[in-house]
Amino acid sequence: MSEPGSLRLERGAAGDRLVVAGDWTLDHLPRLLGAARALAPGDAGARAIDARGLGRLDTAGASLLLELGASPEGADGSWSEPQRALLAAVARAGETPPAHAAPTNGLADVLAHAGRAVATFVRDTLALLGFVGLILSALARTLPRPRRWRVTSLVFHIEQAGLDAVPIVALLSFSIGAVVAFLGATVLREFGATVFTVELLGISFLREFGVLLTAIMVAGRSGSAFTAQIGSMKAREEVDAIRTLGLSPIEVLALPRVLALLVAMPLLTFIAMMAGVFGGAIVGMLALDISPALFVSRFQATTVIDHFWVGMSKAPVFAFLIASIGCLEGFKVSGSAESVGAHTTSSVVQSIFTVILVDALAALFYLELDI
């Protein structure tokens, strides 16, 4: 005959004890939990347990008895052998096994980390090359069909990536030009050759600094914006909706941004070159006693046009790479805000790394061509 489980506290001269009786099974667990909660905080876990009246016992009842302070190794002898075995098994099941730290090898860990980094680099490079192919194929399909041109989107992104970036690019280039002129003149003054600061400014800004500073600014400003915009659309499943409508996300989202940056980047590069040279001219006039007329005449006489074209030739390449990386990282977003932030950061890092790497290769290439 099944008897519902019960729990009561008995106080005596020899000490208090918890008396359990009846069936402690899953069917009676709600009632037993209520009785256990009714005990005072000091009454559970600190008293002996009398289980001589205990009937049937299952894992649910054994778990509650263990919470009340029952021990299968109790000295009172009130547990039957099956009950003692069940309590011991439930107690072992609830124990957390000790964590054994895997043996580490410093050199192996370094090599494993390097291997993962190389594998990630190769995977990202192949993904970028594949994405570049998709952009070029979309461009080839779209150019012969003017009705598929997205002029409104193109103009909007030209304004966002180009026109809105003019103040920060011009200010940064002006400041760097002033610093380069001041530091260059400080060194050249020791040789009585401060006038050569004009050549230093012309070559450095027309050939390297103008396009490189612009590319870094665009990567941090526009490339990250492309990733965040497309990533947010990916998180809201708007990219899937574009595919559902039978449109290509590459053609709708990536192509206008790439073309906009191809238009805006050379213009920003030209502005950066002029701002940097102007900043150096201001420093020359105020601190080096180089008059504006002397600066302009020497600049025209000593700076060849090849330096200008070398710098401008890099601008479209950098623009295409920055826009491609920004859009690709946006399409990689998995759907959460954390993913958007991670891929935005990755976009900026990859863009700046790629720009510096390509700039170094271009410098070696033009050096071999003696330009």
Residues 188 and 137 in one domain: yes
Out of 77, 94, 111, a domain closes at: 94
Residue 216 lies in a domain: yes
Residues 82 and 147 in one domain: no
Residues 201 and 53 in one domain: no
Count of domains forming the chain: 2
Residue 82 lies in a domain: yes
Extract the tokens encoding 352: 């700046």
Strand partners of residue 18: 9, 49
Residues 148 and 223 in one domain: yes
Report the pLDDT value the prediction gives residue 313, as an integer from 0 to 100.
93
Q: Rounded distance, CA 58 to CA 25, Å?
A: 5
Report the pLDDT value the prediction gives residue 92, as an integer from 0 to 100.
80
Residues 205 and 325 in one domain: yes
Residues 181 and 270 in one domain: yes
Residues 234 and 189 in one domain: yes
Residue 104 lies in a domain: no
Residues 250 and 350 in one domain: yes
Residues 77 and 140 in one domain: no
Q: Rounded distance, CA 64 to CA 68, Å?
A: 6
Out of 26, 59, 94, a domain closes at: 94
Report the pLDDT value the prediction gives residue 75, as an integer from 0 to 100.
47
Residue 311 lies in a domain: yes
SS3 category, 7: strand
Residues 357 and 277 in one domain: yes
Residue 272 lies in a domain: yes
Residues 89 and 155 in one domain: no
CATH number of residue 36's parent domain: 3.30.750
Extract the tokens encoding 135: 């952009």
Residue 76 lies in a domain: yes
Which residue range forms the structural domain that includes residue 24?
A: 6-94
Task: Decide: 131 and 324 in contact? Cβ < 8 Å.
Answer: yes
User: Can you give the pLDDT of all 371 residues of the chain as single tens digits?
Assistant: 567 778 777 776 666 777 788 888 888 788 888 777 777 555 544 467 777 778 888 888 888 888 877 776 654 557 788 888 888 888 887 665 555 555 666 788 888 889 998 998 899 899 999 999 999 999 999 988 888 888 999 999 999 998 999 999 999 999 999 999 888 888 888 877 777 888 888 889 999 999 999 999 999 999 999 999 999 998 888 998 999 998 889 999 999 999 999 999 999 999 999 999 999 999 888 887 788 888 888 888 888 888 999 999 999 999 999 999 999 999 998 877 888 889 999 999 999 999 999 999 998 998 888 77
Extract the tokens encoding 124: 């990202």
Residue 16 lies in a domain: yes
Q: Put residue 145 in one of left, alpha, beta given phi > 0 → left and psi -120 to 50 → alpha.
A: beta
Q: Rounded distance, CA 317 to CA 358, Å?
A: 9
Residues 135 and 178 in one domain: yes
Residue 110 lies in a domain: no
